[in-house]
Amino acid sequence: MTIFSFILMGLGVAFVFVGSLGILRLRDVYSRLQASGVSDNAGLGLILIGLILYSPWSAHDITLLLLLVLILVTNPIVTHSIARSAFVQRQRQETDT
């Protein structure tokens, strides 16, 4: 079970790393939101599940589960709020010409 948890945590770190590269490389706010929203949910979710599976059941696992639920609920809300703010401020999506 320990190896499986390390694999999950490694995949989570890879997702977060690729999402961070996407934030740095992409041009406009909408593309950056796509990169950060998907990678944060997947990456942090995999890391937290890997941490839960790493050790036998303890009281800390309840905290990690609550943190996982909090991230899965708030991340789409924050991403939508940022996208709506960019839309209201009339941020244009850049196109390649």
**pLDDT number for residue 94:** 66
Whether the CA torsion 51, 55, 59, 61 is positive or negative: it is positive
95 within some domain = no
94 within some domain = no
**Alpha-carbon span 86 to 23, nearest angstrom:** 16
66 within some domain = yes
**pLDDT number for residue 86:** 86
7 within some domain = yes
What range does the domain containing 38 cover? Answer: 2-88
30 within some domain = yes
**Alpha-carbon span 51 to 61, nearest angstrom:** 8
**pLDDT number for residue 87:** 87
Burial class (CB in 10 A: 0-12, 13-18, 19+), 39: buried
Whether 48 shows a pLDDT value over 80: the answer reads yes
42 within some domain = yes
Whether 97 shows a pLDDT value over 60: the answer reads no
Q: How many structural domains comprise the chain?
A: 1
pLDDT of 56-76, one tens digit each?
Answer: 888 889 999 999 999 999 998
Average model confidence (pLDDT) for the chain? 89
